[in-house]
Structure 1
Amino acid sequence: MIDKDTFLGFCDEALVAMRDIVVDLGDDLANQRPALPGANSPFAILTHCLGVTARWASTVNLGEVVPRDRDAEFTATGAVDTLAADTDAMRASLRDWVARTDPAAPPAAPTSPRQDWYAATCGGVLLHVYEELAQHRGQLELTRDVLRAGG
């Protein structure tokens, strides 16, 4: 069974680290894409993470739809201060959604079981949220490094 406090600690650490990277880069670098095929900007990566978190923790698990335009996440640009505030708001929303989630229960709005095997329980869905945050945190760290190196 998933320990909610530990789960939230891991997610919070990832979201804060990503927020801080984007803020540290500033508006100019945070909105640039590395010169690599298919690369995303730091701003887009974090925007995507906020969309992932809302979709899975709220829409899928609780059936409370949070509007999302997944395609637009990858082209998102804007002020890093606004994205930092949105990240902090998402951290608070995630705490609320997790508090109201029964990890052993099936999701309220299940996805395709063939494709999303981990979504058989709300706990599996929450682990997927952290999986996404962890992998995109690494992607964001590498993206930051490439941009700072002039690439």
Structure 2
Amino acid sequence: MQDQNEYLYFLRRAFDGMLGVLEDLGDDLSNARPPLAGANSVYAITYHCAAVADYWTGHVIAGREVDRDRASEFTARGQGRQLRQQIDALFEQLEADLASVAPAARPLNTPPADFEGPDRPLSVQGVQLHVLEELAQHHGQIQITRDLLKQGGSA
């Protein structure tokens, strides 16, 4: 099977960037939402990204049972330190999930249509690209949210 270290390296970079913003802001600001319609807190976005990686890699690719409440991810609140611990544990699980998976293989599960993923069947590699796509997009969103919050804008 293909070595997944490079893929996990880029996932880790994205998460380390998000977690760095959480640490920079502290727990109060990390849980604040900027005053924009539909905006989410930095904590909620990071929490959502952990759920994305866990669900798409663990459940869709590897077939592991993952209990996910997508809607509640966007209202999640908590401490950055605890979320870092959860993400560290998630990486151990992701490494195990990907240990025996071939990139060209078909994932073991298909996500529900309302999870807003790609609108076509994907290989394992395609699912991994989707996870990277989500994390890159949300990492940028977190950086913009940080900038708004540091300018004094929160709801």
TM-score normalised per structure 1: 0.90
Residue 126 (structure 1) aligns with: 128
CA distance in 2, matches of 1:55, 1:76: 17
State the shift of 1:17 in Å: 1.1
Q: Distance in 2 between matches of 1:116 and 1:135?
A: 15
Could you tell me which residue of structure 1 aligns to residue 73 of structure 2?
Answer: 73
Structure 1 portions without partners, runs of 5+: none
Correspondence 1:125-144 to 2 at 5 A: 125-144=127-146
CA RMSD of aligned residues (A): 1.8
Q: How far off its partner does 1:13 sit?
A: 0.5
CA contact (8 A) 2:118 2:130 kept: no
Unaligned stretches of 5+ in structure 2?
none
Report % sequence identity.
Answer: 43
Structure number with the higher helix fraction is 1
Q: Secondary structure at the match of 1:135?
A: helix
Cα contact 1:60–1:107 (8 A) shared by 2: yes
Hey, what does 1:25 align to over in structure 2?
Answer: 25
* Partner deviation per Cα, 1:93-138 (whole Å, 9 max, x = no partner): 222222232111101012479x734542111001111111110000
Instruction: Indicate the larger mover: 17-26 or 117-126.
Output: 117-126
Output the TM-score relative to the length of structure 2.
0.88
Matched, 1:85 2:88: no
Q: Report the Cα distance in structure 2 between the residues aligned to 1:22 and 1:137, rounded to whole angstroms.
A: 11
